Structure 1
């Protein structure tokens, strides 16, 4: 019960902060992720942007995903580690975005997606055989979803043909992946195939970045 209260408090903070942003554009602009402002010294946006959302649908989707997967991670690790993964994923997602978009001074983004993706990937590593339901109807093993989603994120980062923050999602996944393996190193031997499979897109991304292919 106490764990659920902490989770609901986190969701409540996202809802309240986002709702304020919906109603107050100056508030939204002050705390969104904005490359130019961050590079001029407003690093607080690296965290506050994760509590803002573009619209109610964006907020609802992230909070439903968070509630669904957070309970899996909390039941295994406890509340403190859950929060550490959440905020590490938020920050790493924004750091990766800052790196890939460092020369785009007008680049803007909002959303808890990076943090939520980190929680999802922690849950996938811990329970790779659980089902994730695409479009709430099509069951797919979580580890297969995890691999395909990261590959799709690389495509989205390269194509740049939508308004989805693929880079933040990928950075969050990296944080969830690394943090979970660091906490449960026996996963490397017990679930070698899963660990390697989910690591392939991460290695591929950095190879592509090194070769300036993305």
Structure 2
């Protein structure tokens, strides 16, 4: 789905907040190492995955569906928290591994660049936005679906990575090496094509919404740099 990456030689400077005074009583997140934020997200996804695998009774399955998937019905029932919790939720092993690999290989560079607090902000905000995009699109299409998965947030991290390191190499399916900006364009085309399909169970609009969040996040922090 995402492939592996090769680190670039040139790096962007980590984001700083020069106007904020030094505060010895910083929050836990402010003191957190960037990589620990990434490992925490991966671990949370792994924990919810194990919860799915051990939900054998009807009551447990009902709890997981009500609290770790999201849809318009969930929101109408007041379960707004599912916009976030569904982004840590994968039922199948393949879904968990694909999202986990994409999150790690792109996220390790992005978390070092952003720091723990902004990285968590990117993941959580894009998760909510991606879910809302898919819910809105499905409602417009008259479809009643439920969603789960970290793909929207992972796409946000991927698109941020591509904006920051456009000339790094991304290996499609771990075989075909492409410049990051070319691979990113192919990812977008794939999801645009998928969004026009009336069949399938992939949240392509959530993917696109997440990718847009990553680009906007980069635009807000760094402005766009010339690719060529």
What TM-score comes out, normalization by structure 1 length?
0.83
Counterpart secondary structure, 2:171: strand
1:94 aligns with 2:131: yes
Indicate yes or no: 2:187 matched with 1:156.
Answer: no
The partner residue of 1:29 within 47, 65, 77 is 65
Q: Which structure: greater helix fraction?
A: 1
Q: Partner residue of 1:14?
A: 45
- 1:183 match: 221
Q: Distance in 2 between matches of 1:99 and 1:117?
A: 18
Structure 2 equivalent of residue 84 of structure 1:
121
Structure-2 residue corresponding to 1:199: none
CA RMSD of aligned residues (A): 1.7
Largest Rg, 1 or 2: 2
Matched, 1:106 2:141: no
TM-score scaled by length of structure 2: 0.78
Compute the displacement of 1:180 (Å). Answer: 0.6
How many residue pairs align between the two structures? 190
1:132 match: secondary structure = strand
The whole-number CA distance in structure 1 between the counterparts of 2:146 and 2:73 is: 9
2: CA distance, partners of 1:113 / 1:136: 18
Larger deviation: 13-22 or 104-113?
104-113
Q: Does structure 2 retain, via aligned residues, the 8 Å contact 1:35–1:105? A: no
Q: Which secondary structure does the structure 1 equivalent of 2:196 belong to? A: helix
The residue aligned with 2:91 is: 54
Gapped regions of structure 1 (runs ≥ 5): 194-214
> How far 1:38 sits from its partner (Å)?
1.6
Larger RCO (CA under 8 A, 6+ residues apart): 2
Of 181, 192, 206, 1:143 maps to: 181
Contact 1:69 1:123 in 2 (8 A): yes
Residues 66, 74 of structure 2: 8 Å contact kept:
no
SS, match of residue 94 in structure 1: helix
Q: Distance in 2 between matches of 1:46 and 1:5?
A: 23
Unaligned segments of structure 2, at least 5 residues:
1-31, 56-60
Q: Answer whether contact 1:7 1:67 (CA < 8 A) is retained.
A: yes
Per the alignment, in what secondary structure is the counterpart of residue 101 of structure 1?
helix
